[in-house]
Amino acid sequence: MSLVITGATLADGTVADLAVADGVFVPAADAPAGAERFDAAGLIALPGLVDLHTHLREPGHEDAETVESGTRAAARGGFTAVFAMPNLDPATDTAEAAAYVAELGRRDGHCEVVPIGAVTKGRDGVELAELGLMAGQGVRVFSDDGACVHDSLIMRRALTYLRPFDGVVAQHAQDPRLAGPGACCHESEISGRLGLPGWPTVAESTIIARDVQLAEFTGGRYHACHLSTAESVEVIRWAKARGKADVTAEVTPHHLLLDTPHVESFDTTYKVNPPLRTSEHLEAVREGLADGTIDIVGTDHAPHTQQDKDHPFDVASPGMLGLEEALAVVMEVMVNTGRLDWTGVADRMSVAPARIGRLRHQGRPLAVGEPAHLVLVDPSRRSTVDKHRSASKARNNPYHGLDLPDPVELTVWGGRITFRR
Ligand code: DOR
Ligand code: ZN
């Protein structure tokens, strides 16, 4: 199909017509006569968003999400690629399992689906998975997410072994001794008052402090997932200032916007791992994202069935949705407050995640000859989030009822319209 988008404002402020034919941008003069026309006056055109941290639940928990439903939510959120975390059933810990996830993406995806491989077999932290064979399938991101690679020697070996493959270890930083399986509330006056098991900030930042030193020591590539604490931001800042380690970091939309008092309701929608933190930590991750200490926004979109959320707070499944509201949250917290401009948004949500994940054909400039992945954004539209209008199968949406930007007008993936308001 072919498409002509007229009068779009690019991230740098220039106004341009964008023509698409056969999946790539072509000179506007070369647009086929029958091309569909889209008036983008007043709209911002960004490269299609890339999420380095998505939980699709297929295979294994299709009652919570499928590749079809999860990628439909992604397209609605402006994403043209998502990296699928390997905590599936079976876990993505072999080349065959990775090939299967990629195949599901090609079959059902409303955006590109890139498998993430597990670091250890069964994600149990004991024995390295088939990293080389998965890398041979094109996998470049490895993570035991949901669980921490807590054994220092395993982390050292993973970083070392992945070096020749240009792979990156994406760490879910949670010291299992300091924050065990029951930990579910930011350790603070609130966890004490609510009687919920505490998840102290040091359980995250001490693991990251160890890991960035192992990254420097081995020369391996390291990515810290879902930073939630001011101390973690400081550690990453220190590691980057030394200039000797290949280290990147991520923050989720929920850790940018939502704070600990939400859990006072005991509403398990607000149970997430790592937990929601206090305002001083929110401020630190916002500042880290603004100054580039934190490289990317990763959604940690984590769909769960109502059945898995209908439990006492300390036993309910952790996780919240994020694909559909990620850009809205970044606009609310970062753009509308002057912390980030549109070039910054394109960088943190498309260019940098594609670079970290070595996805060379995404996060590209909107220029002639480039693959046509883009999202058109209305910078001023707002609405009240309604969890029932989600494309996701799950309803654990922590933004339900909030007045937020409602930016996505059109998503184009490889020249195909995957979402239109
Ligand atoms: O809250 C979370 N949910 N954190 C994780 O690390 C895993 C995720 C999930 O898979 O549900
Ligand atoms: Zn995680």
> Which residue has the least CA distance to atom 6 on ligand 1?
146
- Percent of the chain, pLDDT > 70? 100
- Judge whether residue 60 has pLDDT over 90: yes
Note the pLDDT tens digit of each residue in 85-143.
999 999 999 999 999 999 999 999 999 999 999 999 999 999 999 999 999 999 999 99
Q: Is the overall model pTM greater than 0.85, yes or no?
A: yes
Mean pLDDT of all residues in 258-269:
97
Mean pLDDT of all residues in 64-85:
98
Cα(339) to ligand 1 centroid in Å equals 28
Number of other CB atoms surrounding residue 298 within 10 Å: 32
Cα(55) to ligand 1 centroid in Å equals 8
312: which residues sit within 8 A by CB, 6+ positions away?
none
Cα(373) to ligand 2 centroid in Å equals 27
Note the pLDDT tens digit of each residue in 392-420.
999 999 999 999 999 999 999 999 999 99
Note the pLDDT tens digit of each residue in 349-373.
999 999 999 999 999 999 999 999 9
Q: List residues near ligand 1 (CB under 6 A).
A: 55, 87, 145-146, 172, 272-273, 302, 318-319
pLDDT of residue 46: 98
> Any idea which ligand is nearest the CA of 172?
2
- DSSP letter at 111 equals S
Determine if residue 408 is left, alpha or beta; phi over 0 gives left, psi from -120 to 50 gives alpha, anything else beta: beta
- Judge whether residue 388 has pLDDT over 90: yes
State the closest ligand 1 atom to the C-alpha of 172, by its place in the atom list counted from 1: 6
What is the C-alpha separation between 291 and 73, in angstroms, rounded?
Answer: 29
Number of residues written out for the chain: 421
pLDDT of residue 303: 98
Mean pLDDT of all residues in 33-40:
94
Kindly name the residue from 93, 175, 211, 300 that is annotated as catalytic. Answer: 300
- Judge whether residue 31 has pLDDT over 90: no
175 among known catalytic residues: no
Mean pLDDT of all residues in 12-35:
94
- Please give the structure tokens belonging to residue 94: 């072999």
Note the pLDDT tens digit of each residue in 188-210.
999 999 999 999 999 999 999 99
Q: Domain 48-364 sits in which CATH superfamily?
A: Metal-dependent hydrolases (3.20.20.140)
pLDDT of residue 1: 80
What is the C-alpha separation between 318 and 124, in angstroms, rounded?
Answer: 18
Note the pLDDT tens digit of each residue in 318-345.
999 999 999 999 999 999 999 999 999 9
Reported confidence tier of residue 290, pLDDT bands at 50, 70, 90: very high
What is the C-alpha separation between 80 and 71, in angstroms, rounded?
Answer: 9
214 in Cβ contact with 288 (< 8 Å): no
CA atoms within 13 A on the CB side of 251: 34
- Please give the structure tokens belonging to residue 235: 């550690």
Residue to mutate (ligand 1; options 53, 144, 145, 250; most atoms within 8 A of CB): 145
Q: Provide DSSP, 370-408.
A: SB--EEEE-SS-EEE--GGG-SSS----TTTT-EEE--E
As a whole number, the mean pLDDT across the chain is: 98
- Judge whether residue 32 has pLDDT over 90: no
CA atoms within 13 A on the CB side of 138: 13
What is the C-alpha separation between 177 and 166, in angstroms, rounded?
Answer: 31
What does DSSP say about strands 112-115 and 403-405: parallel, antiparallel, or unpaired? unpaired
Cα(87) to ligand 1 centroid in Å equals 9
Q: At what angle do helices 152-162 and 202-218 cross, to 10 degrees?
A: 40
Residue to mutate (ligand 1; options 87, 250, 313; most atoms within 8 A of CB): 87
Note the pLDDT tens digit of each residue in 162-181.
999 999 999 999 999 999 98
Q: Provide DSSP, 321-346.
A: --TTTHHHHHIIIIITTTS--HHHHH
pLDDT of residue 385: 98
